[in-house]
C-alpha cells in the first residue's frame, strides 16, 4: 500500500498538507523537504518510467525534475494548487528533456511491428538456479514489450495517454497539468488511444487471439536479442502493486474496447522509486558548503 494518497485524483486530499510543508521548506526545514519529496517522488518516477521505458532513464529524469523543484520552490506563492505547480513543472520537463536510451531509436509503429515480426520464436527456457522462473521472464517480456509500444507515440501523445488512460487522470486535471482546455485534452487523448489501439489490434496477441505475436513465444527471442536479461529483470516482480490499484477509477464512461486495451498498461507495476529525498538533501548541503566557502573567500 502507498503511504500517501494519489495526488492526481480529481479531488486530491493533499493540498493543505503540501502547502504546510512548502512553507516549512521555504523557512529552511530539511525535514519538511524530505517529506514533501517523499509524497510525490513515486508518482513522478512512475510517470517518467512510462515516458522513457527504462528505469535508469526514469531515475535520471525524476532527479532532474526534483532538482528543478528544489531550485524553484522559493518562487511558489500559492497562486495555484501546489499539485498544479509541481506536476506542470514535471510535465514540461518530460516533454522537453533530452532523449533517453530507448527514445533515441525514434520508433514508429511500423518499425516496432517489423521488429516484432523479425524476433525469433522459441519455447521458454527451463528454469534453473541461474534463472528466474518462466513466469517472471514472461512477465518481463510482456511489460517490456507493451511499454515499448508507448514509445511509438510522440511525446505529447504519450504523456496524455499515460496521464489520461493509464493513471486515470480526468480531463479537468489533465487540462490543468498541461495548461490546455478540457476539450483539447480529450481530443489529444482520443488520438493517442486510436493510434496505439490500432497497432495493438493489428499485432498484439494479448488483445486479439488471431494475432500471431505471443509473449510466451517471443520471450526467448527477446533474451537472445538482449531486450530481456534474465539476470537483471527491469520490470517483473514476484509481488507487485499494479497501477490500477493506486490510480483509482476514471469518473467518465470509457469506451469498452479502448478500456480493455488500456487495462494491459494499467496492470503494469507501480514501481518503488529510489530515495531522491536523501540525495537532494546532500545536494543542498554541498551547495550551502560551497556558498559558505565562496562567501568567506570574498570577505578575506
Domain-located, residue 292: no
Query: How far apart (Å, rounded) are the C-alpha atoms in residues 9 and 27?
Result: 29
Domain-located, residue 8: no
Domain-located, residue 33: yes
Measuring CA to CA, how many Å separate 121 from each of 118, 128, 130, 217, 230? 9, 21, 22, 5, 17
Residue 229 grid cell: 536479461
Domain-located, residue 1: no
Per-residue pLDDT of the chain in tens (300 residues, 90 and over written 9): 455 678 998 877 788 999 999 999 999 898 999 999 999 999 999 999 999 999 999 999 999 999 999 999 999 988 899 999 999 999 999 999 999 999 998 999 999 999 999 999 998 866 665 667 888 999 999 999 999 999 999 999 999 999 999 999 999 999 999 999 999 999 999 999 999 999 999 999 999 889 989 999 999 999 999 999 999 999 987 767 889 888 865 545 456 667 888 899 999 999 988 888 777 777 666 655 544 444 445 554
Number of domains in the chain: 1
Domain-located, residue 175: yes
> pTM of the full predicted structure?
0.89
Cβ atoms < 10 Å from Cβ of 139: 23
Query: How far apart (Å, rounded) are the C-alpha atoms in residues 267 and 108?
Result: 24
pLDDT of 84 reads 94
pLDDT of 55 reads 95
Domain-located, residue 288: no
Domain-located, residue 136: yes
pLDDT of 127 reads 65
Domain-located, residue 220: yes
Query: How far apart (Å, rounded) are the C-alpha atoms in residues 104 and 191?
Result: 23
Q: Which domain holds residue 175?
A: 15-277
Cβ atoms < 10 Å from Cβ of 98: 10
pLDDT of 90 reads 98
Query: How far apart (Å, rounded) are the C-alpha atoms in residues 282 and 298?
Result: 24
Amino acid at each position: 500500500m502507498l503511504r500517501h494518497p494519489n495526488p492526481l485524483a480529481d479531488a486530491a486530499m493533499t493540498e493543505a498538507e503540501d502547502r504546510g510543508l512548502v512553507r516549512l521548506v521555504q523557512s529552511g526545514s530539511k525535514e519538511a523537504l524530505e517529506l514533501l519529496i517523499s509524497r510525490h517522488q513515486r508518482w513522478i518516477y512512475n510517470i517518467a518510467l512510462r515516458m522513457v521505458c527504462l528505469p535508469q532513464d526514469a531515475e535520471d529524469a525524476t532527479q532532474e525534475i526534483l532538482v528543478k523543484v528544489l531550485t524553484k520552490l522559493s518562487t511558489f506563492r500559492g497562486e495555484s494548487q501546489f499539485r498544479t505547480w509541481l506536476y506542470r513543472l514535471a510535465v514540461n520537463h518530460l516533454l522537453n528533456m533530452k532523449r533517453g536510451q530507448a527514445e533515441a531509436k525514434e520508433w514508429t509503429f511500423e518499425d516496432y511491428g517489423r521488429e516484432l515480426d523479425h524476433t525469433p520464436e522459441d519455447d521458454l527456457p527451463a528454469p534453473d538456479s541461474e534463472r528466474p522462473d518462466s513466469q517472471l521472464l514472461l512477465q518481463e517480456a510482456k511489460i517490456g514489450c507493451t511499454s515499448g509500444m508507448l514509445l511509438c507515440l510522440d511525446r505529447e501523445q504519450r504523456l496524455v495517454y499515460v496521464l489520461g488512460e493509464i493513471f486515470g487522470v480526468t480531463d479537468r486535471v489533465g487540462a490543468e497539468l498541461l495548461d490546455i482546455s478540457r476539450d483539447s485534452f480529450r481530443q489529444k487523448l482520443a488520438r493517442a488511444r486510436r493510434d496505439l489501439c490500432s497497432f495493438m489490434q493489428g499485432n498484439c496477441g494479448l488483445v486479439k487471439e488471431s494475432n500471431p505475436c505471443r509473449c510466451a513465444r517471443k520471450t526467448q527471442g527477446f533474451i537472445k536479442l538482449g531486450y530481456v536479461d534474465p539476470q537483471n529483470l527491469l520490470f517483473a516482480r514476484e509481488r507487485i502493486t499494479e497501477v490500477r490499484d493506486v490510480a483509482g477509477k476514471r469518473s467518465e464512461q470509457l469506451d469498452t474496447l479502448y478500456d480493455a486495451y488500456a487495462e494491459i498498461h494499467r496492470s503494469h507495476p507501480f514501481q518503488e522509486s529510489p530515495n531522491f529525498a536523501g540525495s537532494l538533501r546532500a545536494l543542498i548541503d554541498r551547495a550551502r558548503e560551497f556558498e559558505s566557502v565562496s562567501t568567506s573567500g570574498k570577505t578575506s
